[in-house]
Structure 1
Amino acid sequence: MLREWIASRLTLCPSAARRLGYHRESAAITARARRQSAAWASHLANSHRVVSQAAQRFGRGGTLLVLGSGSLLDLPLDTLAPRFSRIILADIAHGPEARWRAGRDAKITLDLVDLTGTVADIVAGRPLKPHCDAYADVAPDLVLSLNLASQLPLAARGLVAAQEGETAADALAADIVRAHLDHVARLATPCLILADVERRWLDGQGRVLSVEDPLFGLALPGEPLATWPWMVAPAGEITRDRGFETTVAAHLMLPRPRP
């Protein structure tokens, strides 16, 4: 717990996002990855594989834009670095590992960005209008949306569920996912999307208790490349007798041909 607390204190995070606990969540994910290293190993290997394949195909010495870089767990930076002259790591929180890597490599830039467009409005109590126009002028060789689409709605959805109920919360969550997919499409460059497409809650014997749609009725665009299971939290990690796993999908979205 002390190590996790120190990591949260060292995490770069905008003040509005810090008020919502994004710095603590970033540190908690890293801590869970350490505790569940065996359960996460195949997921991380699969993520590294599909990201490396996309970099081999599209890395031409220009810019790599990583949306949802997080703790760099899913990102094979040592493989990617030789293929790009600039790597932009974009997230709402950057923990110690990302700060350390950026400090050692001049080609890596850390950007603090709210990819939902809702965080400041949540804190200010304003109506929520999901949007993101970041990086329209970057022209990257490759964009990665890295295990992000299903995570973006969580904070806003929880708030709205408590205030307005599940139906309104699910509608907002779908709007946030849709806004993200629209955002990466507008960037008009090859984009590899990794995202949870199904979430399953399990009992202590691994039997499925319930199934959730983490994309709230939306489908990932582009060509499906691979899917795999990810045991995120075995029983005992979150609660004593329940755990959850997801199905992760990798899709490659190519820019639409210009008329």
Structure 2
Amino acid sequence: MKTRLLSLCCAMSFGLLAAGAMAAAPLKIGVAAEPYPPFSIKNSNGQWSGFEVELVNRLCQEMKTQCQITEVAWDGIIPSLQGKKIDVIFNSMSITPERQKVIAFSKPYYYTDAMFVGAKGSKLDLSPAGLHGKTIGVQSSTTNANFVQKRYAQGVNIKYYNTQDELNADMAAGRIDVMLLDALAADLYLSSKDGANLESKGLAPRDPVFGPGIGAGLRKQDVALKQQFDAAIGKLLKNGSYDAIQKKYFKISVAPK
């Protein structure tokens, strides 16, 4: 009897230890390997910072969950989620009907407009007719790319880029006539040395293709995790924590509408 009880106790202890180890496994937060300032910034030591990195760390703290930033390629970020290489996408991913067919999203945690940027002093008519024969650049696999394809498919040369840095470089070098990117990222770039010869050409019109904002991407079956993110986002929006974080990076509010 004592042997059986000892065996049972050992088995129970092992089970509790295993459960504790599983509970302690960090949540893998997927971000694109290519930095996207000011949302995700990587220093020379490989450490990540930025608005989204700070926000997700605060959300994990609120959820009492360990989190680990995990780099993946942007164009493979959804397959990485589905293949369980990461647990969450937290990388400026717009909530769209197409993406909602394959993954779930938390409630929106930020929203910004899209901005056209071109050379200083250049006169651009941003209508489809006005850009006929000209080249517009945009980062691929984004809602900005979807908007450009929808609005400028006829008569306008569309050039797609894997990263925003590559797009910025071609715009600065004059290899394209105009680019479309997130308005906050555009403001940051225009205030830098590299963007000194560029300027805003105006905001893109609101369009359903842009969706309701940016959300955390999750596997559809991870219902409990989605509920945790929704609750944590809501709490940070209400208790002032969100506002304190965003003011470090932006002059205007990016809180979801």
- Is the pair's TM-score, using the shorter chain for normalization, greater than 0.5? no
Highest CA radius of gyration, 1 or 2? 2
TM-score by length of 1: 0.27
* Larger strand share, 1 or 2: 1
TM-score by length of 2: 0.28
Q: Which has the higher contact order (CA 8 A, sep 6+)?
A: 2
